[in-house]
Amino acid sequence: MRKLYIGNKNYSSWSMRSGVLLKQSGIDFEEVMVRFDSFEADSSFRRALQGLSPSGKVPVLVDDGLVVWDSLAIAEYLAETFPDKRLWPVDPRARARARSACAEMHSGFGALRNHCPMNIEASLPEIGRLVWRDKPGVRQDVQRIVALWSELLREYGASDSAGLLFGHFTIADAFFAPICMRLATYALPVPDHITDYIGRVSALPGVRHWIDGALAEQDFRDFEEPYRLSR
């Protein structure tokens, strides 16, 4: 049985991408949660990943002795291992667009990630209003996300009743699922059609499973909570 090592579901956006991809695609795996205590070299978290994750980070997929780390590498490995799942779009041009979108997510949107860390359990609209007012980088990131999603939904999403970025569920939707969580947690202003897309992603069984797990954790990690002293 392949194993996916993840961090706390409430906070770990990179873990969410791989977890949602596996669950929503119906790929059998065992989930192993490595609880965040700190990211220092001598932390329990780091010690648990020693000899497993070369980067010392999650997610990590272990499949029949093969260790694959980094969410994008995991996604590519799963797409090659399970071609019948159509994790990338079949059309070469659409596939190139999907890879471009995921690569942009993987390396970009730093302001949104830094100022609006994923916190599924929380509702922080008042923080969102302050961040939106004071952080132009966040406004720019959201503007780019809205433009990107709008273009993909218009060009590909309408071709399938699921109404996802490329019609049916793909790696792109898994990669942007944590962004959906951030936009909801901080109530950042987006157009109605983007709110509708967030709703469709949040209702996917694989995403719902992750959200339910995050809500069940009840594990307040103060170093992951820049805006709250307690829950």
CATH code at position 31: 3.40.30.10
> Can you list the residues of the chain whose pLDDT is less than 50?
none
The whole-angstrom separation of Cα 36 and Cα 12 is: 9
Are residues 194 and 102 located together in one domain of the fold? yes
Are residues 97 and 191 located together in one domain of the fold? yes
- Rounded to the nearest angstrom, the gap between the alpha carbon of residue 51 and the centroid of all alpha carbons in its chain is 25
Range of the domain at 26: 3-85
pTM above 0.85, yes or no: yes
Whether residue 181 is contained in a domain is answered as: yes
Whether residue 226 is contained in a domain is answered as: no
Are residues 76 and 96 located together in one domain of the fold? no
pLDDT of residue 158: 66
Are residues 201 and 124 located together in one domain of the fold? yes
The whole-angstrom separation of Cα 174 and Cα 20 is: 6
Residue 137 has phi, psi (to 5 degrees) of -60, -35
pLDDT of residue 229: 84
Are residues 30 and 57 located together in one domain of the fold? yes
Which stretches within the chain are classed as H helix? 13-25, 44-49, 71-81, 92-107, 110-115, 125-134, 136-155, 171-185, 192-203, 205-217
Whether residue 218 is contained in a domain is answered as: no
Task: Find, among 93, 87, 82, the residue nearest to 72 by Cα.
Answer: 87
